[in-house]
Chain A
């Protein structure tokens, strides 16, 4: 396992010094059965539809994209992650095709129309308002399950 203590000095220093959020009450929502799951993806890769406003470096807002959107660009501020994978295949960070296949196979109920992206470099505490806004949009669409994927 790749442990923080075994990472090279620059990354280790940064990651070790991150102030992690704490939560007094651990939230828990009982999941619905698999065939009733309507799933929306939340990515922290700072992707957006081509032509959308780029994310600022510590953005606390979000962007939306439709399940059929494939023309996405990335405006994440950090360069420590590999970008060559998503260049080759969007599904490696936003697996919309895989979820569609799982619907066809009856493993899940449905894929939401709308999916959401945040800037992973920003402090999640500053994103609370945006996250609750996104949750409202999801619930209006009948989403009950959120799949969160980092970059």
Chain B
């Protein structure tokens, strides 16, 4: 982000950026930067709060009045994060082994029942918002769990999507599945709490269990990409944990 700002600025465009890691803005020195002490994923702070969002933008645009730079200011309001983590993190001890998975058919059926039960509220959420973020994978919702289950059974299936191999597609399906659940609940229950949503999806739903099973299989997979996804915390939310990461005695990276 800060690097991109340099390129645009050198092309004769004035830039202003917002960022979550102050030390990086200090080090890379973009022309104008506003540090936000917010959880990541919330650049304008709060969803459905136009007033707060506009305050962030106005504070950023005030930096365009500076006559010299680089300029780095702090946005005065803080959205607290828990224990220095800027997003939800799975408890390090919540790791499944392959032997814990049990009957995959039963698990998939349980996920399908959850999905069916959530459907009316999901549809209400889409109608109310006029949009959905579900669908990056382009798989039908009913196909999410069966597709994931093939990997849990030790198969690398043929990708049904032309031009996108199976494992990158799996990543998108994992995120689509979570989005289906969280879009539904944030709307149905009027919740805006990333910790609560993370805990519910990953620790309490059968869909979360399905994905933890996928992680368990990936840890012992002979496929290097599957293993790498887990080791780099790209499948399950462990980036903000104290570690160790599954399959490792270290904290990764």
**A contact residues vs B (CB 8 Å cutoff):** 1-4, 6-11, 13-15, 17-18, 20-23, 25-32, 34, 37, 42, 44, 50-51, 53-54, 56-57, 70-75, 77-93, 95, 97-99, 101-102, 107-108, 118, 120, 124-125, 127-128, 131-132, 134-136, 138-139, 143-151
| Sampled A-B contacts (26; CB under 8 Å) | A2-B84, A3-B22, A7-B85, A8-B243, A10-B239, A10-B241, A10-B253, A13-B251, A21-B2, A28-B68, A31-B65, A32-B14, A37-B64, A56-B168, A72-B131, A77-B171, A78-B239, A80-B237, A82-B194, A83-B182, A84-B183, A88-B192, A92-B47, A144-B14, A146-B8, A147-B60
**B88 close to chain A: CB less than 8 A:** yes
C-alpha spacing A60/B48, complex, angstroms: 32
Q: Produce 1/0 per residue, B39-71, CB < 8 A to A.
A: 111111111101001100110110011001110
Partner of A146, one of B15, B54, B65: B15
A21 lies within 8 A of B40 (CB):
no
| Chain B residues touching A, majority SS | loop
* Chain A residues whose C-beta falls within 8 Å of the C-beta of B27 in the assembled complex: 20
A20 lies within 8 A of B168 (CB):
no
Known contacts A4-B21, A7-B84, A10-B239; decide if A84 and B16 are in contact (CB<8 Å). Answer: no
**B5 close to chain A: CB less than 8 A:** yes
* Chain A residues whose C-beta falls within 8 Å of the C-beta of B245 in the assembled complex: 10
Q: Produce 1/0 per residue, B1-41, CB < 8 A to A.
A: 11111111111111111111111100111110001010111
Partner of B131, one of A29, A51, A90, A132: A90
* Chain A residues whose C-beta falls within 8 Å of the C-beta of B60 in the assembled complex: 147
Count of residues in B whose CB is under 8 Å from the partner chain: 99
* Chain A residues whose C-beta falls within 8 Å of the C-beta of B39 in the assembled complex: 81-82
B241 lies within 8 A of A57 (CB):
no
B18 lies within 8 A of A8 (CB):
no
**B contact residues vs A (CB 8 Å cutoff):** 1-24, 27-31, 35, 37, 39-48, 50, 53-54, 57-58, 60-61, 64-65, 68-70, 74, 81, 83-89, 129-131, 133, 135-136, 138, 163-164, 168, 171-172, 175, 178-179, 182-183, 186-187, 192, 194, 197, 233-243, 245, 251-253
